[in-house]
Amino acid sequence: MTAPAQTPANQSLLGRLKDIAGHSHVLTSEAETYRFRHGFRFGAGKVLAVVQPGTLVELWRVAQACVDAGKIIIMQAANTGLTGGSTPDGNDYDREIVLISTLRLTGAHMIGGGKQVVCLPGATLYELENMLGAIGREPHSVIGSSCIGASVLGGISNNSGGALVQRGPAYTEMAVFGQVGEDGKLQLVNHLGIQLGNDPEAILNKLQAGTFSDADIDWDAGRGHDNNYITHVRDIDADTPARFNADPARWHEAAGCAGKLVVFAVRLDTFPAAKDPAVFYIGSNSTDELEDLRRHMLTGFEELPISGEYIHRDAFNIAEKYGKDTFAVIRKFGTKFLPKMFAMKSRFDIFAKQFGFLPENLSDRIMQALSVFIPNQLPSRMLEYRDKFEHHLMLKTSATLAGPMKAYLEQFFSKATGEFFECTPDEGSRAFLHRFAAAGAAVRYRAVHHREAEDIVALDVALRRNDRNWFEKLPKEIEDKIIVKLYYGHFLCHVMHQDYVIKKGYNAMAVEHSMLPGLDQRGARYPAEHNVGHLYQAPDVMLAHYRELDPCNCMNPGIGLATKKKNWVAESV
């Protein structure tokens, strides 16, 4: 059989794509496309090509060419997701795939004096954080994902969550996007609330250049974040989670589209940066004590804390050893260097795979071996609390809330069994950085302990707002298949990240599926903030949402374990 890329139709399409984006930005070889075709933690498959457009007009023309040729389009930004939602999933598609990478389409425009921003497809959270920092403002999310290069549009497309309890999941009602209708044609939709004209290419040129004035902007076009969340999360007696990915209340066109649209720009609110925030470090051996704290912090003050991050002692210990180099790099060079480090690591791993005698995950093993020469990074008071307490909570507040919060904690712990201390600025910075390092520690642990570890199960779970029994207790038959568990999360929102390193010889997917009925019985929802990707079964309401956005099923098919067939044919039989 003729290879797909050698058919006349495919050769014609590839020639057209090269004319649009340039020969060097249309990748077809296995080696060139590897890092785009493989997910950060999960997912892999074949593609006809990876295209890297350099302008919004090029993106529009590339998408049109692929739609006209009857190809599947997978939109990809930073490829930092955990559920494979922006990569192919196997090779059982009924059409060939063109993966469009938006990394070259960087940029953002501040409007309204920086109270809002218009972000292009490749704009990263780090880039936006730096831009807004110059005027004393912040984007929706400023922790964790911003350090590894996650994109703004990726967060919007997946309703990603975050640590900042006052802001809720990433959301907007204002965007410019391309949509393939039932007629199989790509149409440009401008719901950005900014007058940009009528011709698609003129709109996109003006959008990229930012050549629009305040007079062109409709300030009542829609919401730029979920401004109801702050009330929603305070409802601590509600029998449902505060936020989870399959919540229809937070879907609106680009928001929650999961790659079912070609998004060219989104318009978002920004937020005043807190000046001189305070950080309190809390330790306890009682989950009830921490739950009492959570309930009072959400209801007992006029102002909510900025964030409340939980980490279990086992995760603390794993992060201390297997996340130390990440911690040290950020402290020494700042977060700006981390995306470059991850890119170099990826390229090294791709190179090493060419030599069959080299071990898997060689870069992780080398980095871990070198990390033994890095001095201890954690403050002595944190280490003392690690030895005394199983459960740890880092609480960040504004300067105005710091006094009342400290008084409350003093009163609470005069009777409770746990303890707290107010961090110095350096201690506070290190505490939250250590919590971030925990997110990658399981991956490093698996790589180093490859003889004992089969794989990782990574869950992000939204617990009910009224759930007092928030700490997981697994049945023995599941527990016996696990080497180590890492529990950490956004405690005030009751969103927990739960990573499990599975013992050699056990199927990680089977272990994960055995955990899900227990979560269902607890009324939890999952995933909480990373989208269903190719790991989770999307509920019917979510699949209906995807069918409405993409009636031809030509954009990112198979998401939520749905059919990959054209026109959703498998679901209509």
In Å, how far are 114, 155, 245, 386, 466 from 167, measured between CA atoms?
A: 17, 13, 15, 30, 20
User: Is 228 part of any known ligand binding site?
Assistant: no
Note whether 99 and 36 are within 8 A (CB).
Answer: yes
Instruction: Give one DSSP letter per residue of 108-156, joined into a string.
Output: EEEEGGGTEEEE-TT-BHHHHHHHHHTTTEE-S--SSGGGGT-BHHHHH
Strands 419-422 and 271-272: what pairing? unpaired
CA angle 260, 107, 189 (to 5 degrees): 35
User: Is 144 part of any known ligand binding site?
Assistant: yes
User: Is 84 part of any known ligand binding site?
Assistant: no
Note whether 458 and 442 are within 8 A (CB).
Answer: yes
Kindly give the interhelix angle for 324-333 and 362-371, rounded to the nearest 10 degrees: 80
Note whether 72 and 91 are within 8 A (CB).
Answer: no
Q: Rounded to whole angstroms, how far apart are CA atoms 160 and 151?
A: 11
User: Is 79 part of any known ligand binding site?
Assistant: yes
Q: Rounded to whole angstroms, how far apart are CA atoms 300 and 236?
A: 11
User: Can you tell me whether residue 309 is helix, strand or coil?
Assistant: strand
**Helix ranges restricted to H, 334-361:** 338-352
Tokens 């997912």 -> residue:
43
User: Is 81 part of any known ligand binding site?
Assistant: yes
Which residues are within 8 A (CB) of 119 and not within 5 positions of it... i.e. 6 or more apart?
107, 108, 128, 152, 153, 265, 266, 267, 268
Cα 386 to the center of its chain, rounded Å: 28
User: Is 402 part of any known ligand binding site?
Assistant: no
* Residue type at 78 in one-letter notation: A
Which residues are within 8 A (CB) of 98 and not within 5 positions of it... i.e. 6 or more apart?
17, 47, 48, 49, 50, 51, 62, 66, 71, 72, 73, 74
Cα 372 to the center of its chain, rounded Å: 30
User: Is 161 part of any known ligand binding site?
Assistant: yes
User: Is 136 part of any known ligand binding site?
Assistant: no
Q: Where is the binding site for FAD, in residues?
A: 77-81, 85-86, 144, 151, 161, 258, 263
Q: Where is the binding site, in residues?
A: 77-81, 85-86, 144, 151, 161, 258, 263
